Amino acid sequence: MAKVLMKGNEAIGEAAIRAGCIHFFGYPITPQSEVPEYLARRLPEVGGQYVQAESEVAASNMIYGAAGVGMRVLTTSSSPGISLMAEGISYIAASELPVVLVNIMRAGPGLGGILPAQGDYFQATRGTGHGDFQLLVLAPASVQEAVNLVILAFELAEKYLNPVMVIGDGMIGQMMEPVEFPVEGVGPPLDPGDWALTGCEGRERRIVNSLFLDPEACNRHNLKLKAKYERMAENEQRWELYNCDEPYDLLVTAFGMMSRICKTAIDDLKAEGTNVGLFRPISLNPFPYEPCRRVIDRAQRILDVEMSMGQMIYDIQLAAQGRLEIDFHGTAGGVVPSPDEVADKIRESLARIGRSPARKPGKRSAKAAAAQKSKSKRSKKTATAQKPGKRGGKKPQNAGKRSAARQSSARRHGRRSGR
């Protein structure tokens, strides 16, 4: 099949159709508005339904209803819109219905801004809505991968009867890249199985419900969900390793588009003779802790880079289990770290473990050399076991505005570099 050049948002819409999803409910919000725009035109062509809801709250209840009657269904939104959908998503998870959600993240918190960000990592992996439930969360790093993961998302949603979220930043929604759709035409409709409400004439009635007033019954239901999440954790971990075949001292961790920027920085450093590995989770939940730990064990230090103030870093900590110091570099508000900026942060991290990073001409190399000199007297062991408290009282620049909890977590992370 020939490659076509498509905007991420449009490709996501087309991927849903190829997966057999011809029902969409949603509400426009930048930077994902091209998904509803595209589907508003395309769905009538394939005999589907496009409904622009009156709000995201309504959209989430519409997908709840449509999934309940056995329709394969999609909604897409961006950060504040997902917050509005949170209640419905919790109900859908509790009722064990297969829906696919796409979050094309923008800057936050609050109304934030419309430019790319990754600040919804916690929301997607920890607390999309109330109660004990989990989403399966997939994070693409290219338009092609977004297509593949949207198609996979429908499969997984139906396999586990659980909502699946595909999460990307504004860049992936807005950029164009060549894509190849793995299937032609419109996929077959969803098999309503033994759960969908399709009319109970001639069979026992089915109930789609999330209300369990009997505590024992509600507890049993939660145990059932827990068992499902454990199955997901066992079977659905996905990740990518980059440049990890050769020995490396530093492991960079990043997800989504940020990982591509890190790859370019890593390539640039490689051309200068410095080898740095990269770990990219593709499934943010379940997080691939064990695969991450395996590549951490071959490193001396970790640099986590995110377009947020530090969210995935908690999962990296869980994977590292205190073995290594973790440096962090993050931006927010729609500021995207450039490959050069990431390369500089890699040099700083390497200097902290006394590794001689490739020099870059100009003032930065002098800075890096000075930093390296100050650390070079320490043995490798003391450098990695170094306690944050020994930093000579050097506080992060904006420490005064942080809560005590944030400060202590910042110390746990090692140095947090502000911009």
Partner 1 sequence: MAGTEVLMAGFGGQGMLLSGKLLAYAAMNEGMEVSWLPSYGPEMRGGTANVTVCISDKPVGSPYISRPMALLVMNQPSLEKFGPRVKPGGLIVVNSSLVPIEADRDDCTVIYIAANDLAKEAGTARAANLVMLGAYLGWSGVVDKKTAVKMIEKEFAKKAKFIPANKAAFEIGFAEGFKAKGGKR
Any contact of residue 37 with partner 1 (CB under 8 A)?
no
| Both tokens assigned to 411 | 């110390």
| Both tokens assigned to 185 | 């035409």
Residue 193: how many other CB atoms lie within 10 Å: 12
Among 341, 346, 348, 372, binds partner 1 (CB under 8 A): 341
Any contact of residue 241 with partner 1 (CB under 8 A)?
no
Nearer to partner 1, 72 or 329 (CB): 329
Any contact of residue 261 with partner 1 (CB under 8 A)?
yes
Any contact of residue 174 with partner 1 (CB under 8 A)?
yes
Among 41, 44, 126, 176, binds partner 1 (CB under 8 A): 176
Any contact of residue 175 with partner 1 (CB under 8 A)?
yes
Stretch that binds partner 1, among 66-74, 168-176, 292-300, 348-356 (CB under 8 A): 168-176
Stretch that binds partner 1, among 50-58, 118-126, 331-339, 350-358 (CB under 8 A): 331-339
**Residue in 402, 416, 403 with CA at minimum distance from that of residue 326:** 416
Among 30, 83, 222, 407, binds partner 1 (CB under 8 A): 30
| Both tokens assigned to 174 | 């807005």
Whether the Cβ atoms of residue 131 and residue 158 lie closer than 8 Å to each other: no
Nearest distance, CB of residue 338 and partner 1, angstroms = 4
Stretch that binds partner 1, among 146-154, 170-178, 210-218, 374-382 (CB under 8 A): 170-178
Stretch that binds partner 1, among 61-69, 227-235, 258-266, 320-328 (CB under 8 A): 258-266
| Contacting positions for partner 1 (CB under 8 A) | 3, 5, 30-31, 114-115, 142, 170-171, 174-178, 257, 260-261, 263-265, 267, 336, 338-341
